[in-house]
C-alpha cells in the first residue's frame, strides 16, 4: 500500500507491531537471526542460513522465525547467529558451522539448553539492551548501530516498526527547518567523518543561502584502509541513513539526496537500492511526502577507488564526472558545492544519529559522551587484538576499556605496543595514553585524530618504521598530484623512511622529515596532504628510540624490516631434518640429512619461511 | 575520430540502454565507465573510443578519468583475478606475504596475467573484512584468516573452473 498520510504510517506501525507481538507470544516464540553482512557471508553465513531452514523443516519445528540481518559486530567469530526466545535474554552464537547449527537446534531450540562452547560474550554481551535505554552504565551503547543485526534491512516494515520514519514525520509536521537545526545544535552532534565539524553549523550555512536547488550528499566512500563502520551501517540499516538525508533536506531546503558510495561495497549498494525502491513504493520519498508539500528523492553515485574523494570538494568533482581533485576553499560546498549549488556533505555515521536525536530529543542524546563530543562513536577494532569487531561506545571511553575489556587484549601473550586511529590521516597512541578518554579533542591533543573510526591495534612484533612507511606509501599512491607539497612531500618522506628501513638512514633524516611534514601541513591544498605526515610525525614523537635503532644500530627490534634481519642456523639445535631446505623458495639452504644446515646469505631473500617451519628453534633471527 | 574506429567494439543492448539513459544527465562519465567495466572486466581502448563518440567528449577526458581512479582497469585481467587485500589490518597480518607467495606460485607479479590468461594478481585496499584478515577475493568469493600454506589449494580449485 502507499503511505499517503501520517495515519497510513501509523497504521503500518500498529499492524506490524501487533503482528510481531502475536507471532512472538503465541505461535512463534523463537527467532533466529543470521548476520549476513559482507564478513558474515564471506565466512559462510548463506550456507548456515540454508542449513537452519533445512533443519527446522526436517524436524518439523513450527514455533520459529528465521531471518537475515546485518552485522552483529563480532567479526572475529563470523558467521554469527542470534537466538531470541520470548521472555528470555538473547544468545549470540559465533563460529557457527553446519554441525553447530544442528546442535543449536537440537539443544537450544528444542530443549532450551544453550550450546556453551559457541557463545561469545565480547564484544556483544555488554551492549545496552533496549529495555534499559536510560541506563548509561553499559560499556557499549548502540545508537548508530541500533538496528544492525536486529532488523532485516530488506524489509522496510521492520524499520518502520522500530520508529522508522517517525523522525521524518515529526520534522515535517511539528518542526520548522530552523527548529530542526536548533535541535541538532542542542544535541552537540559533530561530523563523524574525521574532523568533527559541528553538523548544525554546516546545515545552517546552506539553509541561509537562497538557491533554486540544493543537495544533500551522503559520503559513503569509506576509503580509510582498515575501517568498515559505514559499510556495516548501510548493510544493516540503510533506511536510517536515507531518513536522515530527507530530514537534512527538509532543514536546509533541498529536494535531492545523492549517496556517493564505494563501488567496492556491492552488498551495501544492493541494500540501498532495495531500501530506496521500497520507500519510494510506499510514497515515503518522492513528491508530497506523507501528504505534505515536502519533496525529496535519491540517486546513487559510485566512487571508483580514490581516497582523496573523502575530501568534500574532490568528492563533488567525482560526482560531476571528473577526476576527483580538490579545489581551494572557500567557497565551501555548503555555500557553493555540486554544480555550484549549496551542498551538504555528511558522513554515514553522522546521518545515522539524526533520526534518534529527533525522536528522543537532543537532551537525551547530549547525556552521552563528553562535554565537547556528545553521543557515541563506532570503531572498527582490528589488527592484533583478540576480539576484533565493530563496536559503538560513548565518547569518553578510554583506550584501555576498548582494547582490554571489549577487545579482550592482545593475542598470543604479546605485549601491547600502540593503537593507530585516524588511518592515513591519524597517528599512533602508545601505552601512556591508555587511560585518556577518547573524544575528538583529546585525540588531537595527543597528536592523533578520531578519523572515521578505524582502530588498529599493534603488538611488540609490529615495527613502527614499517607502519609509518605503510601509511606514507598509501598517501603517495592516493595523492592526486594537484598541489606540490602533497605530491612531492609524500614521495620524499616515503623515500627517507624507506632508506631508514634499509639501515641506510642518517640522523639528519629525522629532521628533514619533520620539516617537510610541517610544510605539508601548512601548505597542502586539502585535508589529505595536510594530514598525510601525521602518522610519521606521531611515530617519531612516540617511538624515537626505535627509529634511532634503525639508523644507528641497523637494528629492527620487531624483525619486520627485512634488510636489517639475518637468518642463521644454530649448530646446537639443528638436527638436519631438511624441512627448511625444502621450504626455502630460493634454495639457499645447504645441508644433507642429519648434517647441520647452512644458509647462503648472499642468496637469502629473508622471507622467513625457514624460521616458520623449523620445529627445533634452530633458525635464529637477528 | 572516424566512425570506423568507434565501431571496433560491440556494446550489449543493456549497456547501450544505460548509456542512453545517462547521456543527458550531468556528471555521467564515472557511472558509464563502471557499466563498461562491468561488461568487459576492464575498459578496452576501443570501448573508450566508442564512449567518446557516443557522449561527444574528447577521448583524452575519458583517459584522464579512468587513469585517476584505482577501480578502472586498462588491461584485461585474468579469467580469475585474485585480489589480495593490503588494507591496514591485512597488512599487519601478512597480506603482503600472501602476495609474495602467489607471485612464486603463479610466476607473475602484481597487476600481471599468467601466460594462459587464467590468473592475475591485484593488490586492493581494504575490502572491509578486517575481522577475517588477511583476506583475498577470487571471483567475488572471500577467503579469510589465510596462511601461505592454504594458497596452493585455493589456486588449484580455480585453475580448472
- Tens of pLDDT, residue by residue over A277-291, are 999 999 999 999 999
What is the Cα–Cα distance from A154 to A403, expressed in whole angstroms? 33
Indicate if the pLDDT at residue A168 is higher than 80. yes
What is the Cα–Cα distance from B88 to A51, expressed in whole angstroms? 34
Measured between its terminal Cα atoms, the distance across chain A in Å is 71
CB pairs under 8 A between A and B: 133
Indicate if the pLDDT at residue A240 is higher than 60. yes
Q: Are residues B85 and B145 in the same domain?
A: yes
pLDDT at B160: 83
In a domain, B41, yes or no: yes
Indicate if the pLDDT at residue A131 is higher than 90. no
User: pLDDT exceeding 70 applies to what percent of chain A?
Assistant: 95
pLDDT at A123: 52
User: pLDDT exceeding 90 applies to what percent of chain A?
Assistant: 77
Residue written as cell 567479526?
A75
Distance (Å) from the C-alpha of residue B102 to the closest C-alpha of chain A?
12
Residue written as cell 618522506?
A493
Domain final residue, candidates B13, B38, B68: B68
In this predicted complex, what is the ipTM? 0.93
Q: Are residues B109 and B132 in the same domain?
A: yes
How far is Cα of residue A198 from the mean position of the Cα atoms in its chain?
21
Q: What's the mean pLDDT when you consider all of chain A?
A: 92
Residue written as cell 551542498?
A343
Q: Which residues of A touch B86 (CB under 8 A)?
A: 225
Backbone angles phi, psi at A618, to 5 degrees: -90, -10
User: Domains of chain A by range and CATH?
Assistant: 24-120 (3.40.30.10), 156-365 (3.40.50.11540), 376-459 (3.10.20.600), 464-552 (1.20.1440.230), 566-621 (3.30.70.20)
Q: Are residues B57 and B32 in the same domain?
A: yes
Name the band, by pLDDT with cuts 50, 70 and 90, for residue A24.
very low
- Find, in chain A, the residue whose alpha carbon is nearest to that of B29: A321
Q: Are residues B86 and B151 in the same domain?
A: yes
Integer CA distances (angstroms), A383 to A363, A376, A409, B92, in order: 36, 22, 11, 6
Domain final residue, candidates B14, B46, B68: B68
pLDDT at A538: 95
Among candidate residues A508, A510, A473, the one with its CA nearest the CA of residue A490 = A473
Q: Are residues B102 and B139 in the same domain?
A: yes
Q: Are residues B89 and B61 in the same domain?
A: no
Contact (CB, 8 A) for A505 and A551: yes
Domain final residue, candidates B68, B101, B121: B68
In a domain, B75, yes or no: no
- Average pLDDT, integer, range A78-96: 89
Q: Are residues B55 and B98 in the same domain?
A: no
State whether B128 and A323 contact (CB < 8 Å): no
- Average pLDDT, integer, range A105-122: 86
State whether A383 and B28 contact (CB < 8 Å): no
Indicate if the pLDDT at residue B140 is higher than 80. yes
H helix or E strand, kind and range, residue A9: helix A6-22
How far is Cα of residue A243 from the mean position of the Cα atoms in its chain?
21
Indicate if the pLDDT at residue A121 is higher than 70. no
Distance (Å) from the C-alpha of residue A141 to the closest C-alpha of chain B?
21
- Find, in chain B, the residue whose alpha carbon is nearest to that of A407: B131
- Average pLDDT, integer, range B26-46: 96
Q: Are residues B84 and B151 in the same domain?
A: yes
Distance (Å) from the C-alpha of residue B10 to the closest C-alpha of chain A?
24
What is the Cα–Cα distance from B139 to A16, expressed in whole angstroms? 40
The residue range of the domain holding B8 is 3-68
Q: Are residues B60 and B97 in the same domain?
A: no
In a domain, B90, yes or no: yes
Distance (Å) from the C-alpha of residue B8 to the closest C-alpha of chain A?
25
State whether A462 and B92 contact (CB < 8 Å): yes
Which residue among A42, A225, A226 places its CB closest to the CB of B132? A42
In a domain, B28, yes or no: yes
Q: Which residues of B touch A303 (CB under 8 A)?
A: 69, 71
Which residue among A388, A480, A585 places its CB closest to the CB of B104? A585
State whether A76 and B131 contact (CB < 8 Å): yes
Backbone angles phi, psi at A90, to 5 degrees: -80, 150
In a domain, B39, yes or no: yes
In a domain, B74, yes or no: no
CATH of the domain at B120: 3.40.30.10
Distance (Å) from the C-alpha of residue A382 to the closest C-alpha of chain B?
6
Which residue among A226, A388, A458 places its CB closest to the CB of B87? A226
Contact (CB, 8 A) for A519 and A455: no
Contact (CB, 8 A) for A100 and A112: no
State whether A322 and B29 contact (CB < 8 Å): yes
Residues making up chain A, counted from first to last: 622
Among candidate residues A237, A38, A48, the one with its CA nearest the CA of residue A154 = A237
pLDDT at B62: 97
Q: What is the reported pTM?
A: 0.93
pLDDT at B6: 60
In a domain, B38, yes or no: yes
- Average pLDDT, integer, range A95-111: 93
What is the Cα–Cα distance from A360 to A130, expressed in whole angstroms? 13
- Find, in chain A, the residue whose alpha carbon is nearest to that of B67: A323
H helix or E strand, kind and range, residue A610: helix A609-613
Q: Are residues B86 and B46 in the same domain?
A: no
DSSP state of A415: P
What is the Cα–Cα distance from A532 to B116, expressed in whole angstroms? 41
Contact (CB, 8 A) for A334 and A205: yes
- Average pLDDT, integer, range A118-132: 59
Name the band, by pLDDT with cuts 50, 70 and 90, for residue B3.
very low
Indicate if the pLDDT at residue A569 is higher than 90. yes
- Find, in chain A, the residue whose alpha carbon is nearest to that of B32: A321
Q: Which residues of A touch B30 (CB under 8 A)?
A: 301-302, 304, 318-319, 321
Q: Are residues B144 and B89 in the same domain?
A: yes
pLDDT at A224: 87
| pLDDT tens per residue, range A396-448 | 999 999 999 889 999 999 999 999 999 999 999 999 999 999 999 999 888 88
| pLDDT tens per residue, range B114-128 | 999 999 999 998 887
Q: Are residues B24 and B54 in the same domain?
A: yes
Indicate if the pLDDT at residue A25 is higher than 50. no
Integer CA distances (angstroms), A349 to A77, A192, A204, A234, B78, in order: 24, 6, 20, 9, 37
State whether B88 and A318 contact (CB < 8 Å): no
- Average pLDDT, integer, range A120-147: 65
Integer CA distances (angstroms), A296 to A173, A247, A428, A505, A605, in order: 15, 9, 42, 58, 60
Sign of the Cα pseudo-torsion (A153, A156, A161, A162, in order): positive
Q: Does B94 touch chain A (CB under 8 A)?
A: no
| pLDDT tens per residue, range A504-548 | 999 999 999 999 999 999 999 999 999 999 999 999 999 999 999
In a domain, B107, yes or no: yes
| pLDDT tens per residue, range A313-337 | 999 999 999 999 999 999 999 999 9
Backbone angles phi, psi at A201, to 5 degrees: -70, -45
Measured between its terminal Cα atoms, the distance across chain B in Å is 40
Domains in chain B, number: 2
Q: Which residues of B touch A224 (CB under 8 A)?
A: 126
| pLDDT tens per residue, range A342-373 | 999 999 999 999 999 999 999 999 999 999 99
Name the band, by pLDDT with cuts 50, 70 and 90, for residue A137.
low
Amino acid at each position: 500500500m502507499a503511505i499517503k498520510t501520517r495515519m497510513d504510517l501509523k497504521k503500518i506501525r500498529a499492524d506490524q507491531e501487533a503482528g510481531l507481538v502475536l507471532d512472538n507470544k503465541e505461535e512463534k516464540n523463537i527467532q533466529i537471526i543470521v548476520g549476513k553482512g559482507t564478513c558474515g557471508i564471506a565466512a559462510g553465513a548463506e550456507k548456515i542460513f540454508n542449513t537452519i531452514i533445512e533443519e527446522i523443516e526436517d524436524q518439523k519445528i513450527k514455533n520459529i522465525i528465521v531471518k537475515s540481518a546485518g552485522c552483529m559486530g563480532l567479526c572475529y567469530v563470523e558467521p554469527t547467529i542470534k537466538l531470541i526466545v520470548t521472555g528470555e535474554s538473547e544468545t549470540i552464537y559465533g563460529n557457527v558451522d553446519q554441525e553447530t547449527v544442528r546442535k543449536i537446534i537440537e539443544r537450544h531450540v528444542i530443549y532450551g539448553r544453550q550450546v556453551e562452547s559457541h557463545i561469545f560474550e565480547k564484544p556483544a554481551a555488554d551492549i545496552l539492551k533496549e529495555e534499559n535505554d536510560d541506563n548509561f552504565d553499559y560499556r557499549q551503547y548502540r545508537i548508530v548501530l541500533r538496528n544492525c543485526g536486529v532488523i532485516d534491512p530488506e524489509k522496510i516494515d521492520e524499520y518502520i516498526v522500530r520508529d522508522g520514519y517517525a523522525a521524518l514525520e515529526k520534522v515535517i509536521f511539528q518542526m520548522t527547518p530552523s527548529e530542526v537545526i536548533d535541535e541538532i545544535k542542542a544535541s552537540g552532534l559533530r561530523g563523524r567523518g574525521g574532523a568533527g565539524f559541528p553538523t548544525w553549523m554546516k546545515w545552517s550555512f546552506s539553509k541561509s543561502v537562497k538557491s533554486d536547488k540544493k543537495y544533500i550528499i551522503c559520503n559513503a566512500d569509506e576509503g580509510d584502509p582498515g575501517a568498515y563502520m559505514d559499510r556495516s551501517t548501510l548493510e544493516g540499516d540503510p533506511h536510517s541513513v536515507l531518513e536522515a538525508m530527507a530530514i537534512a533536506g527538509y532543514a536546509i531546503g533541498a529536494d535531492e539526496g545523492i549517496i556517493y558510495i564505494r563501488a567496492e561495497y556491492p552488498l551495501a549498494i544492493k541494500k540501498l537500492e532495495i531500501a530506496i525502491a521500497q520507500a519510494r513504493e510506499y510514497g515515503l520519498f518522492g513528491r508530497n511526502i506523507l501528504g505534505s508539500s515536502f519533496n525529496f528523492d535519491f540517486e546513487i553515485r559510485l566512487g571508483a577507488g580514490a581516497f582523496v574523494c573523502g575530501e568534500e570538494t574532490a568528492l563533488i568533482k567525482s560526482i560531476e564526472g571528473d577526476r576527483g581533485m580538490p579545489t581551494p576553499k572557500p567557497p565551501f560546498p555548503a555555500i557553493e558545492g555540486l554544480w555550484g549549488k549549496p551542498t551538504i556533505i555528511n558522513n554515514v555515521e553522522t546521518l545515522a544519529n539524526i533520526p534518534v536525536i529527533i525522536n528522543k530529543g537532543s537532551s537525551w542524546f547530549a547525556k552521552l559522551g563528553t562535554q565537547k563530543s556528545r553521543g557515541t562513536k563506532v570503531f572498527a577494532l582490528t589488527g592484533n587484538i583478540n576480539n576484533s569487531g565493530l563496536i559503538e561506545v560513548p565518547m569518553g571511553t578510554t583506550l584501555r576499556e576498548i582494547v582490554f575489556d571489549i577487545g579482550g587484549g592482545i593475542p598470543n601473550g604479546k605485549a601491547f605496543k600502540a593503537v593507530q586511529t585516524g588511518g592515513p590521516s591519524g597517528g599512533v597512541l602508545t601505552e601512556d595514553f591508555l587511560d585518556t578518554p577518547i573524544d575528538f579533542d583529546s585525540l588531537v591533543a595527543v597528536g592523533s585524530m578520531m578519523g572515521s573510526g578505524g582502530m588498529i591495534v599493534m603488538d611488540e612484533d609490529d615495527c613502527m618504521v614499517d607502519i609509518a612507511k605503510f601509511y606514507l606509501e598509501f598517501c603517495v599512491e592516493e595523492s592526486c598530484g594537484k598541489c606540490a607539497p602533497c605530491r612531492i612531500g609524500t614521495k620524499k618522506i616515503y623515500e627517507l623512511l624507506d632508506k631508514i628501513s634499509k639501515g641506510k638512514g642518517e640522523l639528519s633524516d629525522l629532521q628533514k622529515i619533520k620539516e617537510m611534514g610541517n610544510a605539508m601541513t601548512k601548505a597542502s591544498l586539502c585535508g589529505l596532504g595536510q594530514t598525510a605526515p601525521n602518522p610519521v610525525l606521531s611515530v617519531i614523537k612516540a617511538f624515537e628510540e626505535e627509529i634511532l635503532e634503525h639508523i644507528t644500530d641497523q637494528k629492527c627490534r620487531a624483525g619486520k624490516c627485512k634488510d636489517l634481519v639475518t637468518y642463521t642456523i644454530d649448530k646446537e639445535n639443528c638436527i638436519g631434518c631438511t624441512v627448511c631446505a625444502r621450504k626455502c623458495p630460493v634454495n639457499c639452504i645447504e645441508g644433507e640429512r642429519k648434517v647441520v644446515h647452512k644458509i647462503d646469505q648472499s642468496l637469502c631473500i629473508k622471507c622467513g619461511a625457514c624460521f616458520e617451519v623449523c620445529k627445533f628453534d634452530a633458525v635464529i633471527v637477528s | 575520430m572516424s566512425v570506423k574506429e568507434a565501431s571496433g567494439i560491440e556494446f550489449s543492448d543493456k549497456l547501450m540502454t544505460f548509456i542512453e539513459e545517462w547521456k543527458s544527465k550531468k556528471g555521467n562519465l564515472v557511472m558509464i565507465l563502471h557499466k563498461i567495466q562491468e561488461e568487459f572486466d576492464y575498459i578496452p581502448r576501443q570501448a573508450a573510443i566508442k564512449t567518446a563518440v557516443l557522449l561527444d567528449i574528447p577521448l583524452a577526458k575519458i583517459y584522464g578519468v579512468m587513469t585517476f581512479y584505482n577501480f578502472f582497469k586498462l588491461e584485461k585481467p585474468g579469467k580469475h583475478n585474485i585480489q589480495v587485500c593490503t588494507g591496514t589490518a591485512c597488512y599487519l597480518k601478512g597480506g603482503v606475504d600472501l602476495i609474495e607467495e602467489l607471485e612464486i606460485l603463479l610466476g607473475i607479479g602484481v597487476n600481471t596475467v599468467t601466460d594462459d590468461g587464467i590468473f592475475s594478481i591485484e593488490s586492493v585496499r581494504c575490502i572491509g573484512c578486517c575481522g577475517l584478515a588477511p583476506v583475498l577475493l577470487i571471483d567475488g568469493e572471500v577467503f579469510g584468516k589465510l596462511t601461505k600454506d592454504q594458497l596452493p589449494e585455493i589456486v588449484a580449485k580455480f585453475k580448472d573452473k
